[in-house]
Every structure is written in C-alpha cells, then in structure tokens.
C-alpha cells in the first residue's frame, strides 16, 4: 500500500460501533482499510461525553493479505492523552499533537517534529519541520478524503504512513474538522 503516492479514503457503511474506511488509489483500486475499534463501554459513554473525550483506536490493514500495518491510538482528551502511531508489533513509531493553529503536528518515535498541517476548511497541506518544505496535501469533501504525498518521498514508507495516518486523523477524527 505504501508504494503509492495518492490515497482516497471513503467511509464505509454498516458498522454497529465505530467507523470503517476503504483506502484506494487514485484509480479506485483497493489498497487497504482503516477500522475504528470501539469497546462496548466506550460506545455507551460516547453519547454522554463525546467522541473527543474518550479513547479510540484506528487499525490500518493492507488489502492484499489483511496484514496489520499500523494502529492509531488516541488516549482521549478526558485523560489528557495524545495520539500515538504503533507498528504491527505495538511499538511506537510516531505520534500526533495539536498544533497552535488547531491542526496536527506529526512526531517521530523520539517525539521530534516531522511535519505540521496548514489547513483552511477541508483543504490542507503537510509541511516539514523546521525546513518548511511541502510534503503532501489532503482534501476532504462530503464523500472522501484525498491524500497526495509528494513523489520524492517514494523511498520513505514510514513518512508516508505518518502523513496518511495524520490525514486520516485530521479528516475524520478531529471533531472540529
């Protein structure tokens, strides 16, 4: 999946708890999926406390063999926790924090800034820190989220995974987006 530079993320219907998303290339070929995993207790508390306050996990899977690619873990704002990106073995490979502008800052495993989002409504771009070089863009409309990662990152699958995960988080899981 991470060999591609363009990802189209479509919400899927029919899940009782949590949300599910199909991840495709720009020609509509399935690449993978993202599934929000919500426990029974969290599903009971969400109507009272809201999505932002409670923990969630988003599991990213490859299409070909359904292998686990990564997990986005949000500890919940109620507990003051951040957002972590874990690899298939459960090791932290990056994370996200809210930027001063209301977007996201992408962090590497050591907590150093990798990129920050610059957003206006549903259009945004990822800019490297501290160089300020554009790494990719994301655009959300009523039906999908399009993530375009610059071709010069072709040999950097971890950076692409961080940008895709950050875009998914910005596009669908931050309540003010």
Share of the chain above pLDDT 70, in %: 87
3-state secondary structure 41-98: HHHHHHHHHCCCCCCEEEEEEECCCCCEEEEEEECCHHHCCCEEEECCCCCEEEEEEE
CATH number, domain with residue 44: 2.40.160.200
Find the domain containing 126 and state its range: 6-173
104 lies in a domain? yes
For residue 40, pLDDT over 50 is answered with yes
The structural domain count of the chain equals 1
- Give the rounded distance of the alpha carbon of 167 from its chain centre: 5
Q: Name the CA radius of gyration of the chain, rounded.
A: 15
1 lies in a domain? no
Averaged pLDDT for residues 19-29: 90
Non-local (6+) Cβ contacts of 27 within 8 A are none
135 lies in a domain? yes
pTM (predicted TM-score): 0.84
Nearest alpha-carbon partner for 136 in 159, 105, 112: 159
For residue 12, pLDDT over 90 is answered with no
21 lies in a domain? yes
Place of tokens 């029919």: 14
Selection from 43-47, 78-82, 110-114 with the highest mean pLDDT:
110-114
Number of Cβ atoms within 10 Å of the Cβ of 104:
25
């Amino acid at each position: 999946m991470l060999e591609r530079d363009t990802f189209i993320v479509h919400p899927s219907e029919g899940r009782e708890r949590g949300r599910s998303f199909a991840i495709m290339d720009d020609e509509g070929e399935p690449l993978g999926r993202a599934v929000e995993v919500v426990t029974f207790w969290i599903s009971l508390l969400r109507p009272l406390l809201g999505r932002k306050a409670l923990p969630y996990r988003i599991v990213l899977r490859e299409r070909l063999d359904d292998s686990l690619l990564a997990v986005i873990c949000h500890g919940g704002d109620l507990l003051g926790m951040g957002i972590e990106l874990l690899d298939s073995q459960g090791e932290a490979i990056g994370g996200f924090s809210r930027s001063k502008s209301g977007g996201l800052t992408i962090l590497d495993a050591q907590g150093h800034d990798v990129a920050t989002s610059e957003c206006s409504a549903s259009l945004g771009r990822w800019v490297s820190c501290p160089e300020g070089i554009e790494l990719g863009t994301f655009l959300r409309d009523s039906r999908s989220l399009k993530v375009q990662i610059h071709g010069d990152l072709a040999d950097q699958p971890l950076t692409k995974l961080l940008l895709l995960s950050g875009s998914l988080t910005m596009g669908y899981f931050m309540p003010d987006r």
